[in-house]
A and B are shown apart, each in its own frame.
Chain A
Amino acid sequence: MTAPLLEVRDLEVVFRVPGESATLRRPIPKPLEVRAVAGVSLQLERGQTLGLVGESGSGKSTIAQAIMRLVDIESGSIHLDGIDLTAARGASLRELRRRIAMVHQDPFASLNPRRTIAESIREPMEVHGLRRGSRRERVLELLEMVGLDARFADRYPRQLSGGQRQRVCIARALASDPEIVILDEATASLDVSVQAQILNLLQRLQREHGLAYLFIAHDLAVVEHMSDRVMVLYLGRAMEVADRDALFVEAAAEHSTDVALAPGAAHPYTAALLSAIPPSDPLATDSRQRMVLSGDVPSPLSPPSGCVFRTRCPIAIEACAETVPPPVTVAPGHESWCIRVDEARRL
């Protein structure tokens, strides 16, 4: 068995923030720790899409930043093709970074307003010393790949719509010939009609170039559409990971109009997320039990003991407060971090 293209093991990322009572007179208190990612493992295979889904504070974007080496990691390891990313320095780190590209949420903030589109797309090639002498041709080729014609090359970001800018960001991500593209809420700020264009474009590019995607989004319907595997995160921890088909398809087979009628979820949080999605057809008789979680996500400064989801969980018991749940294998490739998996499946 070959190693996965990207393997993250027991990743922890800790942010330190000043304590609350820091004033000039008193000594600076011990910084508070936010464990933004608290021991997450994941694998991404060549040409596949792993969807990361979760609400604010779930750690999904921090995982992406750790993989890009944009934040320091506390412990754990990240391997690209068997090479340890966390130990790499200098030229070898640069080469690893070439192989992983990223597209951010806001296409208005991620392009330099004073550079032409061609300059922005060319930059990764300059950084990595790629295609000397044929960069202009490559820029035009990349523009064509993302569905923009050559006229856009010499325009500025302000002359483009949001959807066009996101196409440019995708073209720039592909400029370094990466094997992995991290898409961090890449369609979240786009209008629905434009989002569909970008999702279709991403899927076509994946088919044509064998790209692997780490697809981060809060919208479960979009994640389902894009992913081969899906990991659900909450307060820096994995709640459930499964092949898309294991999570979503059971209901589709029953020809019901809404999959959430019988989701394959084996974790109460996944079940709640599915239940919170407005039905795609409001006219369909909605026989699924609506499950509205009470309360808010707890502060990451003081997460609950044991299972971090227990304070909002409808089926929590005393034991949930005691230990962090170990992963339970529900089916091959389908794991749930819940000690009451059987009850969770019936939600």
Chain B
Amino acid sequence: MTGVFGVEGLGVRIGEARILDDVTWSVDRGETLGIVGESGSGKSMSVLAATGLLPAARGLRLEGRSWLGGDAPVDNLLALDAERLRRLRGPRIGFVFQDPATSLNPLLSVERQLTEGLEEHRGMTRRDAARRAIELLELVGIPDPERRLQSYPHQLSGGMRQRVMIAIALSCDPEVLVADEPTTALDVTIQAQILDVVAELQHRLGTAVVWISHDLGVVGGIADRIAVLYGGQVVETGDVRDIFAGHRHPYTAGLLASRPKLGHRTDDLAMIPGSPPDPRHLPSGCVFYDRCTVRADERCASERPPLAQPSGAAAGHLVRSFCAEHPASTSAGASS
């Protein structure tokens, strides 16, 4: 398997609840993988589990593996102890989470939060780390970086905080940046700034990016490949083009159709009936069965469809549906 970071057959169960089931994705150098899904789809869970960030819970069971490639490959992160995982998070995997207000420490200056990783993981002196911190703030487009270094999080706006988070995430030159809904808490004009910063840095540094979002529009604008998660499973994955123009899964079709589009006047939005499934009571066949209006045949109710490449689909375009062989019918996946 090539790439710098990925998961293979990843599963998470808590008691009877199947939170994640057989999830596989990977991301290569300089590439952006968009992971899209609604609440409870498992989109955040897959990276938390992959990086050992899931809190211990009674009855928690992990399956499959997550791996790092590159010059120092790690075959299975899930098999590592806490200390060895800690030494990978930061230097090799950087993180940016949704809410910069809660992911920064309110009691520490920007400088301390930026230099901590450099001293800990890169063995820099405080002075060298401080010099590097200024460069990092410049890198993410923060004006007057020397002064900003002395600021505390409450003195920064939401957009500035998220830029600081990105600077921290990139401070140790990680191979992969995991961004979990990094613009969801921001206003749209600030979101546009952050999207630009990440795209620019990725272009310059060649970092692989895993971008998690509920918003297919945001992901469509920045990702090279997309994985659509539903009910804890990857239901469709492929190039941006495959997902937007050649999608085969009724859920992807419904998701694309249910968003109002600027300038496209419609009386009624296409919609997916019902609501996302409860991980404790997943349908025994296809996870989308309850809400699907296509339903190829009787297997949909009883058999779990495999994630497979439908005939005529591009390489790497995989769909978990019995309906995938009939691309024309999937557009009816969303009913009015």
Contact = CB atoms under 8 A, between A and B. Distances in A.
Interface string B222-250: 00000000000000000011001100000
Contacts of B191: 276
A164 to B, nearest CB: 7
Contacts of A161: 275
Interface string A240-276: 0000000011011000101110000000000011111
A289 interface: no
Q: With a 10 A CB-CB cut-off, give which of B221, B263, B267 has the most chain A CB atoms.
A: B263
Interface stretch (A36-44, A196-204, A315-323, A327-335): A196-204
Contact of B262 (A196, A218, A277, A292): A277
B240 A297 contact: no
Interface string A108-148: 00000000000000000000000000000000000000000
Given A191-B38, A192-B216, A276-B191, A252 B264 contact: yes
Contacts, number: 136
Nearest to A197: B271
B42 to A, nearest CB: 14
A282 B244 contact: yes
A248 B271 contact: no
A225 B269 contact: yes
A258 B263 contact: yes
A220 B254 contact: no
B144 interface: no
B189 A279 contact: no
Given A277-B217, A296-B190, A252 B244 contact: no
Interface in B268-295: 268-273, 275-276, 291
A220 B272 contact: no
Nearest to B251: A193
20 contacts: A163-B275, A192-B214, A193-B38, A194-B275, A195-B258, A196-B272, A199-B260, A200-B268, A221-B262, A222-B260, A225-B260, A251-B263, A252-B264, A252-B265, A259-B264, A277-B188, A278-B218, A292-B192, A293-B192, A296-B157
Given A193-B254, A278-B217, 10 more contacts: A55-B187, A191-B276, A194-B275, A224-B263, A259-B263, A278-B218, A280-B262, A281-B244, A283-B240, A296-B190
Interface of B: 38-39, 157-160, 187-193, 196, 214-218, 220-221, 240-241, 244-245, 254-255, 258-273, 275-276, 291, 336
